[in-house]
Amino acid sequence: MSFVLESGFGSALGHNTVAIAAYAGLGLVLFVVGFRVVDLATPGRLITVIRQERNPNATALATAGMVAIGLIVSFSIYASGGNLAEGLIATLVYGLVGIVVQTVAMLVFNLLIGVKVADLCAEPKLEPAAVLLSVTYVMIGLVTGVSVI
């Protein structure tokens, strides 16, 4: 056991454990913020629309938003190069930028194409427009994430 601590492995293990907890916590905060943004665009409470009404369009949009944020967080962690403080700050900023860009995409789809999230979430069956907007969310997350590395 003393070899593990003396070799620096114990120190790295401790640092990495703290990093996992910090990034997971920040990721959770960003997921909640992203979920809340989609919630604001849907009629009623999003969790109710998903759990009780079992709306596939709301579920697809919320899920795609979470995947997009997960991509941004993952690429931000990778780009941090092991510097925890800078990595957390960058992840927060990039995550919020990704959420803003997703919101802008939602508005653009509403204005240019006529895809309204509120209307989609009122439809009982999965709509092609929800799939299109969901893929757009994921692609925004991928582009935002890759842009930081």
Instruction: Tell me the Ramachandran region of residue 138: left when phi exceeds 0, alpha when psi lies from -120 to 50, beta otherwise.
Output: alpha
CA-to-CA separations, 91 to 19, 25, 104, in angstroms, rounded = 12, 11, 20
Q: CA 65 to CA 73: how far, in whole Å?
A: 12
DSSP output for 110-125: IIII---HHHHTT-SS
- Summarised one tens digit per residue, pLDDT across range 52-87 is 999 999 999 999 989 999 999 899 888 888 889 999
**pLDDT band for position 14 (50/70/90)?**
confident
Q: What's the confidence (pLDDT) of residue 96?
A: 92
Overall pTM > 0.85: no
Asked if residue 57 lies in contact with residue 7, where contact means CB atoms within 8 angstroms, the answer is no
Cα separation of the two ends of the chain: 37
Write the pLDDT tens digit of every residue in 92-114.
Answer: 999 999 889 888 888 888 888 88
Confidence of residue 128 (pLDDT cuts 50, 70, 90): very high
In the predicted structure, residue 127 carries a pLDDT above the cut 90: yes
Query: Domain residue spans in the chain?
Result: 26-147
Q: Which pLDDT score, from 0 to 100, does residue 1 have?
A: 47
- Is the pLDDT score of 41 beyond 80? no
Q: Give the DSSP letter string of 29-97.
A: HHHHHHHHHHHHHSSS-HHHHHHTS--HHHHHHHHHHHHHHHHHHHHHHHHTTT-HHHHHHHHHHHHHH
- Closest alpha carbon to 139 in 64, 63, 33: 64
The rounded percent of the chain whose pLDDT value lies above 90 is: 46
Q: Is the pLDDT of residue 120 over 70?
A: yes
